[in-house]
Amino acid sequence: MAILVLGGAGYIGSHTVYELIGAGRDVVVADNLVTGFRKAVHPKARFYELDIRDRKALDALFERENIEGVIHFAASSQVGESMKDPLKYYDNNLWGTNCLLESMVAHNVKKIVFSSTAATYGLPEKTPILETDRTSPINPYGETKLAMEKMMRWTDLACGLKYVALRYFNACGAHPDGVIGEAHDPETHLIPIILQVPNGQREFIGIFGGDYNTKDGTCVRDYIHVTDLAQAHILALDYLLAGGESNTFNLGNGVGFTNKEVVETARRVTGHPIPEKLLDRRPGDPDILVASSEKAKSVLGWSPKYADLETIISTAWNWHRTHPHGYAD
Ligand code: UFG
């Protein structure tokens, strides 16, 4: 039987497909290639170009392939864009997931692992964040992801669909072999933007805000390597296939780095001075976002391998240095 990865041509999806195939699994990938890249799809995966809002195309896929479980990455994922165009997020993330769950239930496929986010918490009340903490999103991206979690909970109660929601903190890094990596257009994430400076594409890194309530005044984030995230999806899927109940897990390293510390680490990794400039705050940035991932460790047996930020940035640098224009190179 096969695993269906929706959004398997995107950043975290493509890395998960590589790990699944490395573990000997049969993998089907579906992606509309709006933000994903055909070149990012592992050559051993069977690929379908489709949009999950196309119910007929989804039904045809479930009829043709023998799917035992779904990993769902197919969603819009930019906080800033979601503030400007909230309905795009309701359409792609919520309506897309609605179509998907209908098709899954109709074809008796009732196991799903999906990307949720730290953005479901909004402005956290304490550090580190636990799965039981208050969820109060402050942007449509986090709001639609939380609504996707709830959609699955009610579908579980009504139809017995079992889900695992994985709430990622800051995904980063690239495949250790350098075959695939992070490529967004436009890029908004800190590490790839920093690396544009040593790549000659940007003169300095602008740091958003220097007056946060942190040790050096810049925001603190919990950076987790994309391969560690990929492994967590496989563990979550196996947990469901073994009969596990629906569940929610944070995924982070449990260690926070300030934006200035990330820049400093990138200087060490690249050997480039990477000039920095302090800019105004970016709206909607919480001071500190650090996960407690103890639940994923104890229930799923997850054990992140890339705890060290220097190693994480080295894998990112290896990809960006050799692919300065992403998959166009
Ligand atoms: N930052 C800069 N300069 C830049 C880009 C980012 O200073 O050019 C700062 C941000 O202000 C923030 C930190 O770097 O303080 C990290 O920003 P990212 O955009 O890389 O990541 P976020 O923490 O904003 O977003 C991540 C995930 C989202 C998720 C969110 C939860 O990428 O999917 O955490 O709040 F929703």
Rounded Cα distance, 124 and 136, in Å: 9
Query: Pairing state of beta strands 220-221 and 257-258?
Result: antiparallel
pTM across the whole model:
0.97
**Among the atoms of ligand 1, which is closest to the Cα of residue 286?**
35
Q: How far is the CA of 189 from the centre of ligand 1 (A)?
A: 6
Contact in structure between 249 and 164 (CB atoms under 8 Å)? yes
- Spot the catalytic one: 48, 89, 121, 141: 141
Q: List phi, psi (to 5°) of 313.
A: -70, -30
Structure tokens belonging to residue 318: 């290896």
Give me the numbers of helices (H) and strands (E) for the chain, helices first please. 11, 14
Predicted local distance difference test score (pLDDT) of residue 156 = 98
Q: How far is the CA of 24 from the centre of ligand 1 (A)?
A: 34
Taking the chain (329 residues) in runs of 10, the rounded mean pLDDT of each run is 98 98 98 98 98 98 98 95 96 98 98 98 95 96 98 98 98 97 93 98 98 97 98 98 98 97 98 98 91 98 96 98 93
Minimal-distance CA residue to ligand 1 atom 18: 189
Q: How many CB atoms within 10 Å of residue 38? A: 12
Q: How far is the CA of 237 from the centre of ligand 1 (A)?
A: 28
Q: Is 141 considered catalytic here?
A: yes
Closest by CA position to 314, among listed 180, 197, 193, 191? 191
Minimal-distance CA residue to ligand 1 atom 35: 119
**Among the atoms of ligand 1, which is closest to the Cα of residue 189?**
20
